[in-house]
Amino acid sequence: MAKYVYGIDLGTTYSCIAYQDEDGRPSVVKNLDTNSNTTPSVVQFDDDGNVLVGEEAKDTSVLAPSRTAMFVKQLMGKSDVAIEADGKSYSPIEISSLILKELARQAKEQLDDDVRDVIITCPAYFGESERTATKQAGQLAGLNVLAVIEEPTAAAICYGVTRADSDKTVMVYDLGGGTFDITVLKISNGEVRVVTTEGDHELGGKKWDEQMSQLLADKFIEATGYEGDPFDEEDVDGNEEFLQDLAVKAERAKQTLSNRDVVKQMLTYNGAGPIKVEVTRQEFEDATKFLADSALSLAEKAVATAGGIDNIDEILLVGGSTKMPQIKEGVQARFNMEPKMFDPDEAVAKGAAIFAMLQADEQSKLRDNEEKQVDDDGQEVAVNTETGEKRVLPTLSGAGSAMPTLGGGAPKLRVVSVSTKSFGIEANDPADNQKKVFNLIKKDDEIPVSVTQVFGTQEDNQTTVEIRVYQTPDKVDNYPVDEDRFLGTAELTLNPNTPRNSRISITLELTSEGTVQMHAKDETSGKEIDAKWKPENVLDEKEFEEAKARVAATGLSA
């Protein structure tokens, strides 16, 4: 029986796992190989058939790019292939599961515990398909995923702003290694609700690394008089080794400049060197100012949507890249408010660990119409006596985690998720007789959500109604039909001689699992039709079992 429940920050560039100790304090599990609090989110399939996860895979990624999977988080819910190796295709879900298995292994070895019940975090901008893919990655890794919650929510829990007596609006400024997210949260009486979210899925610390690499290379060329381009793959043989060395030293130089004004690195390339090159913090900040300004512009957009900076009570800095002085100074100057920073690399995982304990306590209770059973794997499950649906019950030995105290009485905390997309129906606009998509569910609506709207038939004696459903990331009432946003269609048969403008009621429902369901009814005849669409690029039952076999074949164990 497990001693602890865990919070996992499954990051774009680095991942982190945390738990609550016997005193209720969230603690990070260190990486045994590096003694670091985080593990690189990198997976490599080497030439000998071994699977490497973490620092070793990262440090040789440039030398074996075709066999290395990096930044797979950006592919979750968007692609069904992350990498092909040794004749096999691996999805982003599978690669993510290997990262999760490595985190679980590290925790198991250090804590002598079977890692089982977890909360996994995701960006606030993640839609239903990305969240479902994240949950499936955890399940493939053999974990019982209690919930997938937004990273800014987890960070807010860690920072302590979700106390039961809190009533404030918080902006979470999350600059990680691969992405930038800005989220405004409304926290009131233990309820955490996303007000709005903005971001750039490509803007992260790696962009600063690229600028540092260019600075170092330019200074090397200036010092040696080299006339080629070390970034050109066709320049000379062996530049892969140089680029790998440069990538490692650029990241370290960036990190050093967070605490010093000058950094020096030794570089050797194509017979030249070793040459000592020097970069100042001012040079680095000048070269990356356009990146910092881009992030601030997105933050201003989110603040405007939330009603202005006067409505923001606190700004929280999250993500390792916020440790760069230009970030904190830029945020303070732009919004005239000193931001808070506390363990930016670990805050998300620690907050998830706190929430995991609360969820484990809540989900361990039997609901109405449920009875406890033991499944074929020896796990305790709650079985719905009416539907037969099963869910794994979290179990703790009682020798590990202590219940956290969030203040203000009982540790109650409700996290309200919202839709990251709008969903609508194609229909004629009577104002201009043009086809448009009319959104029933809108971005930022609390989920699960169900909305019904009445439409009318277009012609006399119409025999069928084709109901076309669309999705868009924009929060608008309607927009011109865009086939790139098409989700699916269903057809409702009408009775003969149905008159024009006969009432057709259409209900769109977005479930907490991310499934979009549609119900349509001809109010004249009473005929009905139902349809549903599962999130894209997630695994169906057959695909899940096939992926499970591929993951098992890698030989990695939690």
* 3-class secondary-structure state, position 267: strand
Residues forming a β-bridge with 147: 119
Q: Contact, 427 vs 455, CB < 8 A?
A: yes
Q: C-alpha angle with apex 528: 524 to 530, nearest 5 degrees?
A: 150
Question: By CB neighbour count within 10 A (0-12 exposed, 13-18 middle, 19+ buried), where does 274 fall?
Answer: exposed
Q: Where are the alpha helices (DSSP H) in 160-279?
A: 205-224, 239-256
List strands edge to edge, sheet with 167-175: 340-341, 314-318, 167-175, 180-188, 191-200, 414-416
Chain centroid to CA 241: how far?
32
64 residue type, one letter: A
DSSP 446: B
The per-type count for the chain, helices as H runs and strands as E runs, is 10, 31
Comparing 205-284 with 422-526, is the CATH topology the same? no
394 residue type, one letter: P
Q: Contact, 155 vs 141, CB < 8 A?
A: no
Total residue count of the chain as it appears in this document: 558
Q: Contact, 174 vs 182, CB < 8 A?
A: yes
The beta-strand segments (E) located in 375-474 are: 380-384, 390-392, 414-416, 422-429, 434-441, 449-456, 464-472
* 3-class secondary-structure state, position 455: strand
Q: Give the pair of three-digit tokens for residue 174.
A: 């999350």
- Based on its alpha-carbon atoms, the radius of gyration of the chain, rounded to whole angstroms, reads 26
Q: Contact, 136 vs 538, CB < 8 A?
A: yes
437 residue type, one letter: V
Contacts of 417 (CB under 8 A, 6+ apart): 149, 150, 194, 446, 447, 512
Question: Tell me, what's the pLDDT at 409?
Answer: 46
425 residue type, one letter: I
How crowded is the C-beta side of 407, counted as CA atoms within 13 Å?
A: 13
Question: Tell me, what's the pLDDT at 11?
Answer: 93
DSSP string computed for 64-104: SGGGEE--GGGGTTT-S-SEEETTEEE-HHHHHHHHHHHHH
How crowded is the C-beta side of 162, counted as CA atoms within 13 Å?
A: 28
Task: Return the domain boundaries, the chain.
Answer: 205-284, 422-526
**Cα dihedral sign for 126, 334, 307, 163?**
positive
Residue 119 to residue 356: CA distance in whole angstroms? 5
Question: Tell me, what's the pLDDT at 410?
Answer: 43
Question: Tell me, what's the pLDDT at 497?
Answer: 86
Cis before 499? omega within 30: no
SS (H, E, C) 17-47: EEEECCCCCEEECCCCCCCCCCEECCEEECC
Contacts of 379 (CB under 8 A, 6+ apart): 144, 392, 393
Q: C-alpha angle with apex 123: 196 to 446, nearest 5 degrees?
A: 45
> Would you write out the chain's pLDDT as a tens digit for each of its 558 residues?
678 899 999 999 999 999 988 777 889 999 988 899 999 999 999 888 889 999 999 988 878 888 999 999 989 988 889 999 888 899 999 999 999 999 999 999 999 988 999 999 998 888 778 888 999 999 999 999 998 988 988 998 888 766 656 688 999 999 998 889 999 998 887 788 888 888 888 899 999 999 999 999 899 888 887 766 767 666 555 577 788 888 889 999 999 999 999 999 998 877 677 889 999 999 999 999 999 999 999 999 999 989 999 999 999 999 999 999 999 999 999 999 999 998 899 999 999 998 888 888 777 777 778 888 888 777 777 888 777 778 787 776 555 555 554 544 444 677 777 787 899 999 999 888 899 999 999 988 888 899 999 999 988 988 889 999 999 988 899 999 999 898 888 889 898 888 999 999 999 998 876 678 899 999 988 999 988 877 778 888 888 899 888 888 887 776
Q: Contact, 190 vs 414, CB < 8 A?
A: yes
The CATH class of the 205-284 domain is: alpha beta
Question: Tell me, what's the pLDDT at 232?
Answer: 67
* 3-class secondary-structure state, position 216: helix
* H helix or E strand, kind and range, residue 58: helix 55-59
Residue 284 to residue 556: CA distance in whole angstroms? 40
In 3D space, the residue among 85, 87, 82 whose CA is nearest the CA of residue 64 turns out to be 85
Q: For tokens 């007596």, what's the residue?
A: 165
DSSP string computed for 113-163: ----EEEEEE-TT--HHHHHHHHHHHHHTT-EEEEEEEHHHHHHHHHTTT-
Q: Contact, 497 vs 484, CB < 8 A?
A: no
- Please check whether the domain covering 422-526 is classified as CATH 2.50.20.20: no
Backbone angles phi, psi at 29, to 5 degrees: -85, 120
Backbone angles phi, psi at 26, to 5 degrees: -70, 135
Backbone angles phi, psi at 292, to 5 degrees: -65, -40
Q: Give the pair of three-digit tokens for residue 6.
A: 């865990």
